[in-house]
Each structure stands twice: as structure tokens, then as C-alpha cells.
């Protein structure tokens, strides 16, 4: 027993004591576990793809997820947003699976601030890469400098200030992305352990009743991370081409023709 | 004293989150076609406000442990 406790210590989180951490090995183990689960699900989802009708339930789930993320991409980034579906869906699945892992296991990758900071660095680094690829290096830097004010004096005085503030906010995007995820997941654990203390006398785990809310938090946090990443991508890759919203134009036309028909009847 | 500080901060942030949810629901009920766009904007706004509370909590917890 002593041997087990000594060797499994990095893998077993002390959910009761906030001072001890699972450590690098524990987080890596759980991250690999999450990745294995995702890969197994996706390998199983490939099974029914050659049939005329998709009957595989896992495949249907992934299809709905793909459609959801594609709609979010096209709605936020624009018509060229379909090529960012892959990275956004990867982030969605990793974050969601890790969050669900945090419901069942004593530790999870997203309940550790280092893992989240790594993901945020990857995300923001990808945003910089896309910005440089779209606008060129100096175009990307000019994007930080704010709008063209038209006056030389104003440009010398104001634009360096905007540039500094934009750089700071770009760095703080990493911090905010990682701390939001960490705070929400770890805060749920703290709330559950605090509520467990209420029912200690009567042997009722009140913290377990928080699990539905925590499941909601899991979905919302995965959604928010990808949504913010798509917003950041749309900020650096936007083009000034006018986009025609066919759907709303059609609806407006229909509505107006309806009004005319109504007026003709009366 | 720290608990009182966190309480006051959470009070303000809860009012802000409530205002966002209130106006988003009002807008959704007035224009049900635009629910998707409104939900996106609402979630982004809520996420940005939430971070204020999280940062503040981490700052206060950091100051307590030192």
C-alpha cells in the first residue's frame, strides 16, 4: 500500500488540499488519456463513412459538431473562414474532453494552468501567423498601430501609444484565455468541495448535485475558447470586400411583397 | 477583509452579467431570427466580464498566500 501511494502520488490529485499538485507527469498522463479517447472515438467514427446513409451514432455526433463549428466560423470570420474549421474543432474537442475528464477524475488537463497557457500560446501564435500570412509582416504591425488619423502630428503622438496598448493587450490575451478556462474548471471543483462540507454530518454529497451545472460549464467553456479564437482570427484576417447577406435580403423582399399584397387586399 | 473585497467585486460583476443576460433575452424575444448572432455576442461579453472577476480573485488569493 505504501508502495502504491508513493508511486501513484503524481497520478492522484489531492482534491481536498489545494496545496498539492499532480505535477507534470500527472497532467501529461491525463492529457494523453484525453487524446487517446478522442482518437479512439474518431477512428470509430470513420467506420460508416462509405455507406449511403450514415448510421453510426458517433459519426452523426461528429457531423453535428462539424456543422456547428463551420457555422460559427462562417458567421464570425466570413466566407473565407472555412479553412480554420480544423484548428477550431481540434481545440473544441480537446477542451471539451478534458473538461468532461475533470468531472470523473481527480485531475484534468484543463484544471491545470500550465496546460491552458500552452493552449492559449498555440492559439495566439497561430493568430499572429495568420495575420502575417494575410497582411505581410509590416502590414500586421501596422494593424496594431490603429487607424490612420490623417494628421502628421496626431500620427506621431497617438499611434505609438495605441501600438503599445495593442501589444500589451495581445500578450494579455494569452493570460485571459488560460485563466478563464482554469478559473471556471478549478472554481467548479472548489465549489463542489465546499458544498460537500455542508452534508458531512448527514452523509449527503451535496457537491454531486453541482455536476449538471459543471457539465454546462464544460460545453460553454469549450465554446467560448473557440469563439474567442475565431474572433481573434477574424480581427487579423478581415478583408474590406462587401458581403451580401442573401438570406436577409430575401426575407426583406418577401416581407415587402407581403405588405404590398396586404395593402392591395384592403 | 479579503472576503468582503471579493464579495463587493462579485456583486458588481453579477450586476453586469445580469444586465447582459437581460438585454440579450429582451432582444431575442423581440427578434427571434437574430438569436444566433445575439447569443454569440452575449457569450463574448460574458466571457470578458468573467475574466475581471477571475483575475481579481487570483490577485487577492496571491496577496493572501504571500
Domains of chain B, by residue range, sit at 2-61
A227:B58 CB<8 A: no
Has residue A16 got a pLDDT over 80? no
A75:B37 CB<8 A: yes
Q: What is the mean pLDDT of residues A69-84?
A: 88
pLDDT above 90 covers a percentage of chain B that reads: 32
Lowest mean pLDDT of A78-92, A115-129, A195-209, name the range: A195-209
Has residue A8 got a pLDDT over 70? no
Has residue B62 got a pLDDT over 80? no
User: Any long-range contacts for B44-47 (C-beta under 8 Å, 24+ apart)?
Assistant: B44/A224, B44/A227, B44/A228, B44/A231, B45/B20, B46/B17, B46/B20, B46/B21, B47/A180, B47/A224, B47/A227, B47/A228
Residue A226: closest C-alpha in chain B: B44
Q: Which of A224, A225, A247 to mutate to test the interface with B (most CBs of B within 10 A)?
A: A224
| Binding-face residues of B in 34-63 toward A, CB within 8 A | 36-37, 40, 43-44, 47-48, 50-51, 54-55, 57-58
Distance CA A82, CA A44 (A): 25
Output the pLDDT for position A249: 57
Distance CA A180, CA A220 (A): 11
- Other CB atoms within a 10 A radius of the CB of residue B65 amount to 7
User: For residues A169 and A184, is the Cβ–Cβ distance under 8 A?
Assistant: no
Residue B34: closest C-alpha in chain A: A248
Provide, as residue numbers in chain B, all residues whose Cβ is less than 8 Å from the Cβ of A227. 40, 43-44, 47
Q: What is the mean pLDDT of residues A112-131?
A: 92
Output the pLDDT for position A122: 95
Q: What is the mean pLDDT of residues A166-191?
A: 89
Q: What is the mean pLDDT of residues A7-34?
A: 65
We find that the CATH architecture of domain B2-61 is Up-down Bundle (1.20)
A179:B54 CB<8 A: yes
Going by pLDDT thresholds of 50, 70 and 90, the confidence category of residue A257 is low
Going by pLDDT thresholds of 50, 70 and 90, the confidence category of residue A20 is low
Q: Nearest by CB to A180, which of B36, B37, B51? A: B51
Output the pLDDT for position A200: 82
A223:B43 CB<8 A: yes
A217 contacts chain B (CB < 8 A)? no
pLDDT tens across B31-48, in order? Answer: 999 888 888 889 888 888
Has residue B7 got a pLDDT over 50? yes
Has residue A123 got a pLDDT over 80? yes
Does the complex come out with an ipTM higher than 0.85?
Answer: no
Output the pLDDT for position A245: 54
B47:A180 CB<8 A: yes
A176 contacts chain B (CB < 8 A)? yes
Provide, as residue numbers in chain A, all residues whose Cβ is less than 8 Å from the Cβ of B55. 176, 179
Q: Higher confidence at residue A29 or residue A247?
A: A29
A184:B50 CB<8 A: yes
Q: What is the mean pLDDT of residues A152-167?
A: 86
**Which pTM does this prediction carry?**
0.79
Output the pLDDT for position A252: 60
In this structure, chain A runs to a length of: 266
Q: Which three cell numbers stand for residue A55?
A: 448510421
The rounded mean pLDDT for chain A is: 82
Provide, as residue numbers in chain A, all residues whose Cβ is less than 8 Å from the Cβ of B54. 179-180, 183-184, 187
Closest Cα to residue A231, out of B22, B45, B52, B17? B45
A75:B40 CB<8 A: yes
The 3-state secondary structure of A133-172, one letter per residue:
HHHCHHHHHHHHCCCCCCCHHHHHHHHHHHHHHHHHHHHH
User: Any long-range contacts for A74-77 (C-beta under 8 Å, 24+ apart)?
Assistant: A75/B36, A75/B37, A75/B40, A76/A227, A76/A230, A76/A231, A76/A234, A76/B40, A77/A230, A77/A233, A77/A234, A77/A237
Lowest mean pLDDT of A30-44, A183-197, A235-249, name the range: A235-249
B14 contacts chain A (CB < 8 A)? no
pLDDT tens across A139-154, in order? Answer: 888 888 877 777 788 8
Amino acid at each position: 500500500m505504501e508502495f502504491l501511494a508513493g508511486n501513484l502520488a503524481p497520478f492522484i490529485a489531492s482534491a481536498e488540499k489545494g496545496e498539492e499538485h499532480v505535477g507534470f507527469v500527472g497532467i501529461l498522463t491525463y492529457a494523453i488519456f484525453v487524446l487517446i479517447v478522442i482518437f479512439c472515438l474518431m477512428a470509430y467514427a470513420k467506420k460508416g463513412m462509405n455507406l449511403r446513409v450514415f448510421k453510426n451514432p458517433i459519426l452523426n455526433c461528429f457531423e453535428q459538431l462539424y456543422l456547428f463549428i463551420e457555422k460559427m466560423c462562417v458567421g464570425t470570420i466570413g466566407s473565407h473562414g472555412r479553412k480554420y474549421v480544423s484548428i477550431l474543432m481540434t481545440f473544441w474537442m480537446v477542451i471539451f474532453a478534458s473538461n468532461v475528464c475533470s468531472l470523473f477524475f481527480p485531475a484534468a488537463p484543463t484544471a491545470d494552468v500550465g496546460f491552458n497557457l500552452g493552449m492559449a500560446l498555440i492559439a495566439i501564435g497561430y493568430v499572429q501567423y495568420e495575420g502575417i500570412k494575410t497582411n505581410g509582416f509590416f502590414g500586421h504591425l501596422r494593424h496594431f498601430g490603429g487607424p490612420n488619423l490623417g494628421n502628421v502630428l496626431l500620427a506621431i503622438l497617438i499611434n505609438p501609444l495605441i501600438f503599445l496598448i495593442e501589444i500589451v493587450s495581445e500578450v494579455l490575451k494569452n493570460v485571459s484565455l488560460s485563466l478563464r478556462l482554469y478559473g471556471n474548471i478549478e472554481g467548479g471543483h472548489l465549489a463542489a468541495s465546499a458544498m460537500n462540507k455542508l452534508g458531512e454530518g448527514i452523509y449527503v454529497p451535496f457537491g454531486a448535485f453541482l455536476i449538471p451545472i459543471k457539465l454546462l460549464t464544460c460545453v460553454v467553456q469549450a465554446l467560448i475558447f473557440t469563439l474567442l479564437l475565431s474572433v481573434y482570427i477574424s480581427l487579423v484576417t478581415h478583408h474590406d470586400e462587401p458581403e451580401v447577406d442573401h438570406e436577409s435580403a430575401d426575407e426583406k423582399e418577401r416581407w415587402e411583397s407581403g405588405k404590398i399584397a396586404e395593402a392591395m387586399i384592403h | 477583509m479579503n472576503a468582503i473585497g471579493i464579495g463587493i467585486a462579485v456583486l458588481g460583476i453579477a450586476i453586469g452579467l445580469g444586465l447582459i443576460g437581460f438585454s440579450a433575452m429582451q432582444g431575442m424575444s423581440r427578434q427571434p431570427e437574430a438569436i444566433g448572432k445575439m447569443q454569440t455576442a452575449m457569450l463574448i461579453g460574458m466571457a470578458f466580464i468573467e475574466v475581471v472577476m477571475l483575475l481579481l480573485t487570483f490577485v487577492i488569493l496571491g496577496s493572501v498566500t504571500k
